[in-house]
């Protein structure tokens, strides 16, 4: 299996790194659907869950940490967003993600 960014933004910057971040967003309930739609239009952003009271679980992907920071800033600037908090950020070298992991306990 080959791992890589799932969006165009990842392919146009520094190759070789993959950054992913988990974010919790709290939005105005009346604007929840609009906020979800706007986040979904950001390159590298994906909404995974949205509660009725407009608490959202979002992941951000990008080729560098500043890309993730820019995405987070864009979310915080959306109309109806009360707060967006970075919960987790991690990066890997793309080549290391493409290495096959051998499970020695499952060897023939």
Q: Cα(24)–Cα(97) distance, rounded to whole angstroms?
A: 25
pLDDT tens, per residue, the chain with 108 residues = 233 444 444 444 456 788 899 999 999 999 999 999 999 999 999 999 999 999 999 999 998 888 899 999 999 999 999 999 999 998 777 666 566 777 777 766
- pTM for the whole thing? 0.72
Domains for the chain: give ranges and CATH numbers.
14-98 (3.30.70.920)
Residue 96 CA to chain centroid, in angstroms?
19
């Amino acid at each position: 299996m080959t791992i890589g960014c799932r969006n165009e933004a990842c392919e146009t910057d520094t190759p070789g790194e993959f950054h992913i971040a988990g974010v919790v967003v709290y939005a105005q309930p009346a604007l929840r659907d609009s906020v979800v739609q706007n986040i979904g239009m950001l390159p590298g952003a994906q909404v995974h869950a949205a509660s009725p009271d407009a608490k959202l679980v979002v992941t951000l992907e990008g080729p560098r940490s500043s890309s993730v920071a820019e995405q987070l800033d864009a979310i915080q600037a959306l109309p109806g967003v009360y707060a967006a908090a970075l919960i987790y950020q991690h990066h890997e070298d793309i080549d290391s993600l493409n290495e096959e992991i051998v499970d020695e306990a499952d060897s023939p």
